Amino acid sequence: MLLNNMIKAIFFDIDGTLKSFKTHSIPQSAIDAINEVKQKGIKVFIATGRYFKQIGDLDGLVFDGLITLNGAHCINSESETIFTNPIPRGNIDALLHYHSESFLFPAIFITEKKELINYIDENVKEISLLVDVPLSPVGALSEADKEEVLQIDAFINKVQEKEILEIILTDCDASRWNPLFADVNVIGNSKRTGIDKFLEYYGLDLSETMAFGDGGNDVEMLKHVSIGIAMGNAGDEAKLVADYITDSVDDDGIANALKYFGII
C-alpha cells in the first residue's frame, strides 16, 4: 500500500510503542525508520502521557514537537510551550480536601514546570520500574497546587476512579494504559487535542496524519488520525479502533508498518 505522498505528519506514543517494556529502549529498526521518514520531509511527533522531563534522550531522535501529558502540554521543536490545558482549580481544591478528609491514595500532580507525589507505595514503584523513569519527588500536594495542574496520575482502581470522577473531579476524565493507575485530565483533553494544535501550528491537514499507539490513552488519537496503527502488543481498546495492527514493538512493528504503507 503506497501512501508516501499523502502522509505529512506521524505521531508516536512512547511506552509500549517506541520504547519496549522489555528493553526500555527504542529498537534500532524504529530509529532507522524514523530518521528515514524525516529525510523525506515528513514531520514526526511524540504523543505521550509522560511529563516532558521524563521523556529523556530517545536515542538521539529529534522530533518536530512533543505532545505530553496526553495533550495537556504541547511543546515545539524549540522547547517552547504552544498549548496547555489545565484542570480547573475547583477540582484540584476538591481533591485536596478529599485527601485530607477521606481515603488517601498516591497521586502525582504535574504542572508545566514540576511534578510532585504525596507518597510512594509498591504500585508507584512498579510503574516507575516498568517505564524506567525516576520516582517523582515526594511532597505536599498543596505545593504543586500553587501552579496550574495539567495532569494527575492517580494510583486508584476503576471503582475508585468512577467515584472520584463523579463526585470530586467532575470536570475531568481518565484514561489508562495500565490497571495500576489512571491519567486524569480535563474533560475533552486527549492526544487528539495535541494533534490538532500541531496541525494548526504547522499548517497541516488531518488527512495527512498517521499515528502509532498501544494503550487506552492512545484510543482517541488512533481514531482521530487518517491512519491509526496499533502495535501488536497493544491492548484490545487500541486494537479495536486501529486501521491497521502491526507487529509488536520488539518485533520491529514501527518499521514494518511504515514499509507496509510505503512511507519508507
Please identify every residue annotated as catalytic: 13
Number of Cβ within 10 Å of residue 34's Cβ equals 25
Strands (E), 214-259: 227-230, 244-245
**Separation of alpha carbons 74 and 133, rounded Å:** 20
Distance, CA of 194 to CA of 198 (rounded, Å)? 6
Amino acid occupying residue 61: L
Q: Which helix (H) or strand (E) holds 124?
A: helix 122-131
Element (H, E) at 153: strand 149-154
- Who's near 100: CB < 8 A, 6+ residues apart? none
Residue identified by cell 505528519 is 9
Alpha-carbon distance 133 to 108, whole Å? 14
Q: Residue type for 50, please?
A: R
Q: Which three cell numbers stand for residue 54?
A: 521524563
CA torsion sign for 134, 140, 146, 151 is: positive
Give the whole-angstrom CA distance, residue 147 versus residue 145. Answer: 5
What would the grid cell of residue 80 be?
517552547
Spatial separation of the C-alpha atoms in residues 128 and 132, rounded to whole Å: 6
